[in-house]
Amino acid sequence: MLEAKNVHKVYHTGSRQIPVLKGVNLKIEKGKFIAIVGPSGAGKSTLLHILGGLDVPAQGQVIFAGENLYAQSDASLAKLRNRAMGFVFQFYHLLSEFTVLENVCMPALINGGAQSFAGFYEAALKILAKVGLSQRLGHFPSELSGGERQRVAIARALINNPAILFCDEPTGNLDSQAGRGVVELLRGINQQEQTTVVLVTHNVELAKTADCMYQLKDGILVN
């Protein structure tokens, strides 16, 4: 489903070049749950963003469903991300002026237009029930706990029924109990819906629940 081929990433600070990824190779099969671990600053988030079409590699290719992501136009890549990929971030990125239900519907509205809102509404209700938030539909993000906000973010990432879900430190702002709950939720979605999950985390214990765990060390990915 997804393959990284000799991916490099270099950051520039003035005249200095800081290599972060030094030839990463990775193959991810459909329906798998993959975890990538490593210390802060190792480049985990950078790699995840490149795999998800959010950041351009300095060298190498990312092949998703047979297509080279970075050979596409920006508009085509944006449509692909919206249609086939879901993203969950450490800081939730919920829109504070919108309710839980409205936040979850937002990617579907962008993808399909307001004329399909009735269908999006029904889909959002089902997903929010699945993540245990049926009683929070009209609440705003400021009225939710950290764990609840992350569940809303997961529901939003699932609204377009993505083939793959990219999760960037989704438990980083949560206590241990809430963090375990989020990972269990992701694992359940992976097993029930066969949604491919790529999880980036510094927490090795949580990563051990994945089908396969990789370590990013010195710019290289080790199985």
Report yes or no: 221 and 214 within 8 Å, Cβ to Cβ.
Answer: yes
- Sequence-separated (6 or more) residues with CB below 8 Å from residue 43: 9, 20, 21, 216, 219
What's the pLDDT score for residue 179? 83
Give the model confidence (pLDDT) of 147-189 as tens digits. Answer: 899 899 999 999 888 999 999 988 887 888 888 888 888 999 9
**Number of domain units in the chain:** 1
Residue 87 falls inside a structural domain: yes
CATH number, domain containing residue 214:
3.40.50.300
Residue 7 falls inside a structural domain: no
Could you tell me the pLDDT band of residue 40, with boundaries at 50, 70 and 90? confident
What's the pLDDT score for residue 164? 95
Give the model confidence (pLDDT) of 129-152 as tens digits. Answer: 988 889 999 999 999 998 899 899
Could you tell me the pLDDT band of residue 194, with boundaries at 50, 70 and 90? very high
Structural domain boundaries, residue 183: 31-56+72-222
- State whether the Cα torsion 48-213-37-8 is positive or negative: negative
Which residues are paired to 214 by β-bridges? 36
What's the pLDDT score for residue 139? 95
Place of tokens 């975890």: 35
Residue 95 falls inside a structural domain: yes
Is 113's pLDDT higher than 60?
Answer: no
Give the model confidence (pLDDT) of 43-98 as tens digits. Answer: 999 999 999 999 999 999 999 988 899 999 999 998 899 889 999 988 888 999 99
Could you tell me the pLDDT band of residue 214, with boundaries at 50, 70 and 90? very high
Residue 150 falls inside a structural domain: yes
Q: State the Cα torsion 55-191-179-149 to the nearest 10°.
A: 70
Q: State the Cα torsion 43-48-53-54 to the nearest 10°.
A: -60
| Higher pLDDT among residues 52 and 114, named by residue | 52
Apex 171 CA angle, 165 and 174, nearest 5: 145
Residue 122 falls inside a structural domain: yes
Token couple for 96 = 């504070």
3-state helix/strand/coil string of the chain = CEEEEEEEEEEEECCEEEEEEEEEEEEECCCCEEEEECCCCCCHHHHHHHHCCCCCCCEEEEEECCEEHHHCCHHHHHHHHHHHEEEEECCCCCCCCCCHHHHHHHHHHHHHCHHHHHHHHHHHHHHHHHCCCHHHCCCCHHHCCHHHHHHHHHHHHHCCCCCEEEEECCCCCCCHHHHHHHHHHHHHHHHHHCCEEEEEECCHHHHCCCCEEEEEECCEEEC
Could you tell me the pLDDT band of residue 106, with boundaries at 50, 70 and 90? confident
What's the pLDDT score for residue 117? 67
What's the pLDDT score for residue 99? 94
Q: How many residues does the chain have?
A: 223
What's the pLDDT score for residue 22? 94
Residue 2 falls inside a structural domain: no
Could you tell me the pLDDT band of residue 112, with boundaries at 50, 70 and 90? low
Q: What is the DSSP pairing of strand 33-37 with strand 212-217?
A: parallel
- Going by C-alpha positions, the residue among 167, 216, 160, 219 that lies closest to residue 193 is 160
